A and B are shown apart, each in its own frame.
Chain A
Amino acid sequence: MNFDTWLPLFVVLSSLLPGLVMFFLDEGSHRLRTVLNMSGALLKLLLVGVITWGVFHQHIYETRWTLAPGLELVLHADTLSVLFVILSTVLWLVTTVYAIGYLEKSPHRSRFFGFFSVCVSATVGLALAGNLLTFVLFYELLTLATYPLVAHRGTPEALRGARIYLAYTLTGGVLLFTGTVWLHSIAGSIAFVEGGTLNQLHADYHPQLKVIFLLMITGLGVKAALVPLHGWLPQAMVAPAPVSALLHAVAVVKAGAFGIIRVVYDVYGVEFTHELGLLTGLGIIAAITIIYGSVKALSQDNLKKRLAYSTVSQVSYIALGITILGPIGTIGGIVHLVHQGVMKITLFFTAGNYAETLGIHKVSEMDGVGQRMPATTLAFSIGALGMIGIPPVAGYVSKWYLALGSLEAGMAWWVMPVLVTSSLLNAAYFLPILYRAWFKQPATKWPSEKILPARFETQAALLWPPLITAVLAIAAGMFAASPYSPLEWASLITRREYGL
């Protein structure tokens, strides 16, 4: 037994165990819970740091555990998983701080933080999954862990949102599960191998493989919120802000997108997928989703809903990147996984701040909020500009690579218009908010001002997380070309995927 073999497991356990302990903590033991939360998050960060260094230097970290004959639980750290793990770990740390501040006085904190930790463990687990079975396992665990978080408020709307969320994701889960088993019964083991392995199967299986692909992508598409499977996402907005942040930036939608990446690159192999004629369909869906989400976002007055539809649109950039055959498009898709995460979490944090500090839930209530909460609004602006694709915020890097990739692949004739339209629509639904927030006169009275300005415009624990993530978003864009940046890491992944 050596440390390398168990490291991936430790990464998962570093949040899972504190989470399980937290369920059984008394509601009043605030300090112990905070200590558990933070030490778990920091330990995970440390472990992930080690893994990152190792993976960069071609070390192999793999935990294997036999569930049944032929069914193995494999946690394996490769470049792609490390990218996602880092994202989740860093953002979890930030979100934990935020959540501690956000839920300061609300009830059921033991439950909340317990599920919160399980949720992150599931995300990390599916990031590190070394085969489809493991992926499915953590994918479902994620569904289960997020349901209580969405329902946390317990209001009828919250329960309704949670129910809808569950209906969608579980159906998706069942489809994914069925596809996985089917594939397993055809192809045997289904480890994630860079470049995929299914092209070696006999051509007789190709029709079945197509159906399986459809099943799996539909299953994953639910979480990735591909139209028309996106219906849960705007409903899940009832969740507390840290949850929405995590849901949209890291955990759920990303899990879906990440899964699509895995299936296309590491199970089917992108060339083989293309050969089967499946990429185009996915691409068209992604394109429709991008436009649809943006158009829907335009007409939302509820801030979080607008952000939700924005997520619908933005996450599909990842899927779009996948469907662009060739390394550059791939880089664009993969790097957007990180960039969208950092930017969207900033937006949700700030939306939460508005709600928590001033009771602002609607765009129409945001007039002049920049004067009352300049730092928060600054972070919001950075996130929003990044979403539009304005440098130096990270978003432009993704769009640049996606567009470039489409040019290389000869798909520019439809990808570029989609990208341009979407960017313009992004601008159309974000810039008016910025205008209101900065340039309009504030209302005489905020909807319900819960936190009065003291040293900061709001609680410190609420203020710092969005600022940090905003800085991260800018840094990811500004230092895109520097080593260890998300872009460089995505390039490394792509090189390995394409065997370059």
Chain B
Amino acid sequence: MIDTLIWLVALPLASALATQLLPRYATAIVISTAIATSINAAALLYAVATHGVMLYQIGGWTAGLGIALRADGLSALLLMMAAIVLLASSIYASAYFNDNPLRRRFWPLWLLLWCSLNALLLSGDLFNLYVTLELLGLSAVALASLGGKTAALQAALRYLLVGLLGSMLFLAGVTLIYAGYGTLDLATLSRVVAAGPIAWSALALMTVGLLLKTALFPLHFWLPPAHGSAPAPVSAVLSALVVKATFYLVMRLWLDIFSEVVTPQAASIPGVLGAAAVLWGSWQALRAERLKLLAAYSTVAQLGYLFLFFPLLQALPAGAARDAAMGGLVILALTHGLAKSGLFLAIGIIQQRSGHDTIRDLDGTAQRLPATTFAIALSGIALIGLPPSGAFLGKWHLLAAAFSAGQWLWVVVIMIGTLLAAAYTFRVLGHAFGQQPYPRHPVTIAAEEWPALILSAFATIGLGLAGAPVWQLLKVSL
């Protein structure tokens, strides 16, 4: 049972090697790995729900000397989301790269990315986190550059530099922690860490590094070009999972390990930045001329929402209200992950079909692809936060927390952000209506359209209506 943890890392890694060695069978390997890993993630989720926190000591060494893998409700949920998104994107990618020579380069990197994501989410060791961050960053950059055009290369290079800078700052923080507390194990650290210059500056360094990678306003500048010019399945995973993974780390640090160290003033910084991100990202998304850029800026905005939770969670006393808000944060993140990946996949279909993704000229394409348009609509609903999406529940709790904490400013930001999100979503959806001939069948490319549709539907209907277990799972924490 407990082996699921290591298999979550080992299997994608092994498959990555296998696809490099046996490119002819790559698709089969990837799909079976994806299915197996998804089952694995589900098993882990189940195990966490029934047995509580999962701990795996690699090499049999106690955590501290060795490296421990840990899974609590939060990481299990994110792992599950990653599995769902990657499974769907893998199926999609198998059709997307159907006759493209890039395919052989794509699969190993894809699986390495998955491996690094899982490793990051499971890691219980600060330095190991640094290594996983680098693995994640490099595989993401390699994937993002696959498009091969100047714009993609430029974006990838910038992405790489930012990622490296972020990792380096993170490592500097880790160094300070090791200097101050003599440990790298997160569980041990959360016991010994105390407010003071070491903790503060270490946290600051790590946070800035991670925020660079998470693309929190104003450190988001690299994200839109990178996410906007990568191949569709890559964009999906970058927006849905990669920034989420680093966000997960910020959350882990601020809300879990360093929660005693964080002051209200400090917590309001991510809040303010998040608010700015919501407004600026949404505004830019509204002005974007290309679909992918729109989606990318929407990611900037959506990440802002997640950071709005920080001052509120800091302000709320431990108890039911805080737990509820925490669940809201997680479900918002999960919903965004699923919805955004669905959106990017759908955009990819449109882009492939029409050869461009300029919003102004979408009319015919959008109408000839009803299922894809429907997927965009569904994910748009989740991005706006309309019911019954999971984001609705997330925003509900965000607002509720703002009201409970008496921090009214965020309420206004959330309202404006929601309206802007609606504006940019429906700017696109407007193109779906017209008197173009309706295709005979609503679904034309099953392997591409269904994954997009299912991801979006999952975000919009699944998480919204069946999201209650998230709160249950979050009670299982380190």
Contacts and interface: CB of A to CB of B under 8 A. Distances in A.
Complex contact flag A–B (Cβ < 8 Å)? yes
Nearest to B396: A181
Interface stretch (B165-173, B336-344, B398-406): B398-406
Interface in B155-184: none
Interface in B429-478: 429-430, 432-443, 464-465, 467-468, 470-471
B392 interface: yes
Nearest to A170: B422
B374 A140 contact: no
B433 A158 contact: yes
A163 B411 contact: no
A181 B400 contact: yes
Contacts of A45: none
A43 B429 CA distance: 33
B438 A68 contact: no
Given A154-B435, A162-B430, A166-B426, A140 B442 contact: no
A374 interface: no
Interface in A131-171: 133, 136-138, 140-141, 143-144, 147-148, 151-155, 158-159, 162-163, 166-167, 170-171
A68 B442 contact: no
A107 B437 contact: yes
Nearest to B371: A24
Q: Which of A71, A110, A155 has the most chain B CB atoms inside 10 A of its CB?
A: A71
B415 A174 contact: yes
A498 interface: no
A138 B393 CA distance: 14
Interface stretch (B98-106, B230-238, B273-281, B320-328): B320-328
A185 B404 contact: yes
Given A24-B443, A65-B465, A71-B393, A159 B430 contact: yes
The dominant DSSP class at the B interface is helix
Contact of B387 (A25, A66, A141, A171): A141
A24 B434 CA distance: 18
Contact of A27 (B422, B438, B443): B438
Contact of A144 (B386, B400, B434): B386
Contact of A70 (B324, B429, B436): B324
B418 interface: yes
A69 B324 contact: yes
B419 interface: yes
Q: Is the interface of A mostly helix, strand, loop or mixed?
A: helix
A26 to B, nearest CB: 6
A182 B399 contact: yes
Contacts of A153: 433, 435
Interface string B5-40: 000000000000000000000000000000000000
A23 interface: yes
A147 B418 CA distance: 17
A178 B399 contact: yes
Interface string B370-387: 110010000001001011
Contact of A68 (B327, B432, B434, B435): B327
Interface string B173-217: 000000000000000000000000000000000000000000000
B147 interface: no
A362 interface: no
Contact of A69 (B388, B404, B429, B468): B468
A20 B464 CA distance: 17
Contacts of A111: 370, 438
A468 interface: no
B290 interface: no
Interface of A: 23-28, 65-71, 73, 107-108, 110-111, 133, 136-138, 140-141, 143-144, 147-148, 151-155, 158-159, 162-163, 166-167, 170-171, 173-175, 177-178, 181-182, 184-186
Given A73-B465, A137-B392, A144-B386, 4 more contacts: A69-B324, A173-B386, A181-B399, A186-B403
17 contacts: A23-B370, A28-B440, A68-B331, A68-B393, A68-B468, A71-B393, A137-B392, A140-B387, A140-B392, A147-B429, A148-B432, A152-B433, A163-B430, A170-B384, A174-B415, A181-B400, A184-B400
